[in-house]
Structure 1
Amino acid sequence: MSLGPTPRQFCFPTPVLQNAKVKLVPFSAWQIEKHAQRFYDITKDHDDMYTYTNNGPYHSLQHLIDTFFAPAFFSGGKESFAYAVIDKTLPPSAEDPDGELAGVFSYEHADDKTLCVEIGHVRVAPAYQRKGIAVVATALMARYAMDTKEQGGLGLVRVGWGASSVNEASIRVARKAGFGFVGTIPYQQVLKNGVARNKVGNGRRLPSWAEAGDLWRDVDMFCITWEEWEAGKRDVALQLLAGSDKK
């Protein structure tokens, strides 16, 4: 199996993040070796996981590695980093001693100069959905990003979240985790051959020069600022994590 380039050096430290329900394990070449096959197996029959994004679906394990993991997290730059999402409510597995691999989350557009980051590449396999895993993972990543260094976090000034404006599930996760709506970016990304790939665009009329079969998507942007975090958003995240711990 080709794992692609050497993992990039992310601009922030990447510890394991966890509560009683979810563990986020930093990806490395070794983790790709360990988790990629399982991630492919639990998602390969669910093309609808990629309906609102330009990437996917994937037709083989190597296709997944070459066109998702390698370019997103293992080549050039230091702005993106992926986590394996482990469902700790399940018994130990070959993927992790604390549970089963349920999906992938990541930080992206990270900047250690402006102290900002976004949570993206959010994927929870259908078999693990409707368990609150996405919200808990989001709360874990938001807490690490926004808590002060004295509290064990990065002390950033903003954590963001972007979702296709018609992806209601992603928008619900952001809102439940305390992210506030900032605005909509129209025509944020072209979905090449989107019609043939069963993508869902923004539904807007396309310009006359658009290539046949292409779609565009609008993106709704959400964020939490450091002021909002201190004013109550931190409590939202902590309540989500504490409530998850009790289940």
Structure 2
Amino acid sequence: MTGSLIFKGARIPEPVALAGNYGRIEKLDPDRHGATLWDAFRDTPAIWDYMPYGPFPDAEAFRTWIAGRATLADPYVYTIVDPDGRALGIAALMAIRPDMGVIEIGHIAYAPALQRTRLGTEAQYLLARYAFEILGYRRYEWKCNALNSASRQAALRYGFSFEGILRQHMIVKGKNRDTAWYSILDCEWPSRKAAFERWLAPGNFDADGRQKSSLAALMSEGE
């Protein structure tokens, strides 16, 4: 790139609060979020199947882990909070390379109460918008275990493009992990943003809360 198009670098994530129509994103705070996160996660050990940590045997072990996560600069961990103030999930901006304009969304853990909800999708929209429009990143990545079909389907639903699989990329909990890679580029974000906003609009849901148009279909229309 030349002239005014030379990339000047992006910013690192900050302890912002990102408000949506169905909830909000906040910097992880063990004192404010630890108890409700534990309540949300405690009986769902399968959430941690593809994570390098967990499940946790008790509230104290979970709180110790949360306290450590909250101090990290990379991954920079946020929590997803519903309108009643309950923390129902976590997600992190990570693999942060401001000089290259590359950042990843990862360490995503949704409690059952957050899965398949408007807030769960809105959280992904809010973090992507923050990364592209406020922090100034060029490339937004999603990586997961190639065996994690739910994560791979979610990446496509959220508008990420599949880029390939890195074979024998990692060892996680003593097992091989082939890693599936996905991304959204800054030039693609406007169409992805429009699809998110069309899906999240109240008019996209009937009186029983059922969607009229799927997010995947809306993403495809914008390609």
Q: Which residue of 2 is the match for residue 224 of structure 1?
A: 184
Q: Which residue of 2 is the match for residue 16 of structure 1?
A: 17
- 1:123-134 alignment runs, 5 A limit: 123-134=109-120
Give RMSD over aligned pairs. 2.3
CA distance in 2, matches of 1:66, 1:245: 41
CA distance in 1, matches of 2:192, 2:151: 18
CA distance in 2, matches of 1:244, 1:115: 35
Deviation track 1:179-212 (CA, whole Å, cap 9, x = no partner) reads 11111122222123xxxxxxxxxxxxxxxxxxxx
CA distance in 1, matches of 2:203, 2:121: 10
Q: Which residue of 2 is the match for residue 44 of structure 1?
A: 42
TM-score, L = length of structure 1: 0.71
Query: Is the aligned partner of 1:108 residue 2:108?
Result: no
CA distance in 1, matches of 2:56, 2:203: 32
Q: Which residue of 2 is the match for residue 208 of structure 1?
A: none
Q: Which residue of 1 is the match for residue 219 of structure 2?
A: none
**Consecutive unaligned residues in structure 2, runs of 5 or more:** 1-10, 210-223
CA distance in 2, matches of 1:244, 1:82: 32
Q: Does structure 2 retain, via aligned residues, the 8 Å contact 1:21–1:244?
A: no
Secondary structure of the residue aligned to 1:182 is strand
Q: Which residue of 1 is the match for residue 135 of structure 2?
A: 154
CA distance in 2, matches of 1:67, 1:128: 21
Amino acid at match of 1:177: Y
Deviation track 1:50-106 (CA, whole Å, cap 9, x = no partner) reads 111221101123322434551x4414xx33211111123xxx3xxx2xxx2211111
Q: Which residue of 2 is the match for residue 82 of structure 1?
A: 77
Deviation track 1:142-191 (CA, whole Å, cap 9, x = no partner) reads 111112xxxxx222101111121121221222111111111112222212
Q: Does structure 2 retain, via aligned residues, the 8 Å contact 1:21–1:245?
A: no
Q: Does structure 1 retain, via aligned residues, the 8 Å contact 2:34–2:63?
A: yes
- Aligned with residue 190 of structure 1, among 158, 171, 176: 171
CA distance in 1, matches of 2:39, 2:192: 36
Runs of 4+ in 1 over 4 A off after TM superposition: 243-247
Deviation track 1:97-153 (CA, whole Å, cap 9, x = no partner) reads xxx221111111112211221111111111332224332211111111112xxxxx2
The structural deviation recorded for 1:244 is 8.5
Secondary structure of the residue aligned to 2:147 is coil
CA distance in 1, matches of 2:141, 2:96: 10
Query: Is the aligned partner of 1:135 residue 2:121?
Result: yes
Amino acid at match of 2:132: M
CA distance in 1, matches of 2:50, 2:194: 31
- Aligned with residue 175 of structure 1, among 156, 160, 164: 156
Q: Which residue of 1 is the match for residue 8 of structure 2?
A: none
Amino acid at match of 1:12: P
Secondary structure of the residue aligned to 1:233 is helix
Identity rate, percent: 23
Q: Which residue of 1 is the match for residue 195 of structure 2?
A: 236
Q: Which residue of 2 is the match for residue 195 of structure 1?
A: none
CA distance in 2, matches of 1:243, 1:176: 19
CA distance in 2, matches of 1:40, 1:139: 24
Secondary structure of the residue aligned to 1:110 is strand
Query: Is the aligned partner of 1:66 residue 2:67?
Result: no
Q: Does structure 1 retain, via aligned residues, the 8 Å contact 2:77–2:91?
A: yes
